[in-house]
Structures are given as C-alpha cells and as structure tokens.
Amino acid sequence: MWRRLGMVSTGVGLILTGCATTQRTDDLVRPDTTEVSGKTHRRFEIGRSVEGTTLVMDVFGTGSERLLIFGGIHGNEPTSATVAHDLIDYLAANPEAYLGRRVGVIPEVNPDGLARGTRSNVRGVDLNRNFPAENWKRSAGSANRHGERPASEPETRALLRAIEYLQPERIVSIHSIGRGRHCNNFDGPARYWAELMAEQNGYVVAESMGYPTPGSFGSWAGVDRLIPTITLELPRELDAETTWQENRTALLAFICNGFAD
C-alpha cells in the first residue's frame, strides 16, 4: 500500500512518496519507522547508484530544527562512511541527542566507489564536482571527471532529492584527507559551526582547502544557497574507531549546539 507524502517542486523533477518497498528510483520512500517514547527514527530510500545499489537516509526526530550529515561521497575515504554509520548507531541508542530536532544521516552517497576504493563513482565522475553550483565546469581534456552536466549522476541527484525533502538548516559533509591537512572546512555562513566543532575535535578551522573545487557540494549548498556547510576532513591515516571517538562530540555539538555526554 502506497501512501503519498506530497508533491514537491524540485530541480530534478521528483515526486516524494512513502511505502514499505518499491523499485522506483524516482521516488523517496520510507521503508521503516521506529518510534520509542515519542522519538521517531525513519529510514528512507533516496535513490539508487549507477549499479543499482540502494541509497538510504536515516531521519531521527520530528522537530522543527533540521540538519543533515552525510559521508562516503568519495569511495577512497571509507572512514567518512564508518563515522556516519557510527553516528546512526549512536542516535538510535540515544534519542535525547536529537530531541527537538530532525537529523538526517546518509552514510554512503557513493556505495559503488566505496566497494571499489575509488574516489569517483563507477562512471569515473567525482560526485563532489558534479553539483549544480554556479562554479561547475567540465573537466579539462577528455576525462569525464565532473560529469557531462551538473547533477548528471544518480548519486548526486539522490542527495539533492534528500535535501529537497529534509530542507536542512545546516549540513556536515564528512571526508578524509592526509594527516596535517585535516580540518573543519566551511562554506557559506558556517564559521560558528566550524569553530564549535573545533572545540571538540581539535581540528583547525579552514575557510578554504587551498585549491579550486568547481561543482563541489560546499560550493552549491554553502556558497550558492547560503546553507551553513561544514566539510569535516578526517585524518585519513586514523582507524575507524579512533576517528569516531575523535569526532563524536564534535558531531553531537553540531547537532545540539553543545550537547555531549
């Protein structure tokens, strides 16, 4: 039995619907809902990858304050996905962490790349250069690294679909980078959040990564749309558990503006 959640006008022409299961990748579907003591945890299918892997977003709470955290957009940065998975587990076990808020978490934007250990998706497109930002441009030469056009890739469109649905007021995109360059990078009006997270994880606050990022998520969400956007660059050499412990309170501070146990 399908239950329509409502029509939404989007840049990718999508309709949002809810149900138990579906094969349609143009729909945002809700396959599961858990409610404990008024705390709601829902899991949505937001689309499919090039190879047909299901992309999911866990949404915690029903509050008016909305935020999004996602990882795994680059397949050669696996701890960005494991930290997001750890956050899902934490929020599921600690509903007080999102009280009064609506928190979306997408752990794996690029599951095919994660399976292969490649930065790009299986078509060779760097998804973090494929967003419809004003600074998007085709990659030089014959390589298709930025995509044939903005939002050409199904994984990019899935993330755009999730944002259209959730309408987050602030966003964290989790990445990893060589130690010494790890930081709380920010785009748009997000310095406050970068400094707040820095108090917890000890990473530097960086207004720029020091190189051009045409078509990046931060350019699209933070610069063009003025959604406070943090690119959390984890130290790539750290193991998954240490990385989570180093950033747990920083992510909780971002969620709750200072909450940490």
Q: Note whether 163 and 67 are within 8 A (CB).
A: no
Exposed/middle/buried for 149, CB within 10 Å: 0-12, 13-18, 19+?
A: exposed
Taking CA atoms, 226 is separated from 23, 28, 36, 170, 181, in Å, by 34, 25, 34, 9, 25
Q: Which two tokens stand for residue 71?
A: 């990882």
d(CA 129, CA 186): 16
d(CA 167, CA 10): 12
d(CA 68, CA 98): 12
Q: Note whether 243 and 182 are within 8 A (CB).
A: no
Of 62, 86, 89, the residue nearest 72 (C-alpha) = 86
Q: Which two tokens stand for residue 223?
A: 């610069």
Catalytic annotation, pick one of 77, 108, 233, 246: 233
Q: Coil, helix or strand for 17?
A: strand
**246 in active site:** no
Residues catalogued as catalytic: 233
